[in-house]
Amino acid sequence: MSSKTSATWVGGLAFDADINGHHLIMDADRGSGGENRGPRPKPLLLAALSGCSGMDVVSILEKMRVGGFTLRIDTEADSTSEHPVTYHTIRFNFHFEGSDLSPEKLVKAVTLSTQKYCGVYAMLQKSARIIVKIFINNQEVEQ
């Protein structure tokens, strides 16, 4: 299976990315010469990581018959100072809210995603250290 996107320059530093028929404007901030009309490309990698793993986790928990929860994934990265500027450390935090949630099942779902299924995680871990933490109702879970 292959993937294909197309990015068309729309002026300034902005590009309109066509991703399977969905359009997304990417731009630089004003301080960098852009007009801030959309997100920067590198943070989109973090959003892709959250979406990829989040979809896995929700699907796995559904198969485990775990319900009645909300999930927010916070992702934050530190960059190198030399060009090309890349992420060297990514903090990847899963925040579950709900009652009677099984820590073991949540840890298993996150582990399966990050260690087996999420292709974005697999690609990013080759170039950055990824620190995964899981929280249930604001309490960190031991992994």
pLDDT digits (tens, 9 = 90+) for 11-22: 999 999 999 999
Q: What is the pLDDT of residue 2?
A: 87
Domain ranges (residues) in the chain: 1-39, 41-140
CA gap 120, 128 in Å, rounded = 12
Alpha-carbon torsion, ordered 123, 126, 127, 128, to 10 deg: 90
Q: Is the pTM of this model over 0.85?
A: yes
Give the pLDDT score at 72: 98
Q: pLDDT-derived band of residue 80, with 50, 70 and 90 as boundaries?
A: very high
Contacts of 75 (CB under 8 A, 6+ apart): 46, 47, 49, 50, 90, 91, 92, 93
62-68 contact pairs (CB < 8 A, 24+): 64/105, 64/108, 64/109, 66/101, 66/102, 66/105, 66/106, 66/109, 68/98, 68/99, 68/100, 68/101
Task: Write down the residue that tokens 């993937």 correspond to.
Answer: 3
Q: What is the pLDDT of residue 1?
A: 79
**How much is the pLDDT for 34?**
97
Q: How far from 100 is each of 5, 38, 104, 136, 137, CA to CA, in Å?
A: 42, 39, 12, 10, 10
Please determine, for residue 25, whether its predicted confidence score (pLDDT) is greater than 90.
yes
Give me the pLDDT at residue 143, please.
87
- In which residue are the tokens 């028929």 written? 21
Q: Please, which residues bridge with residue 97 across strands?
A: 70
The CATH number given to 41-140 is 3.30.300.20
Mean pLDDT of 58-80: 98
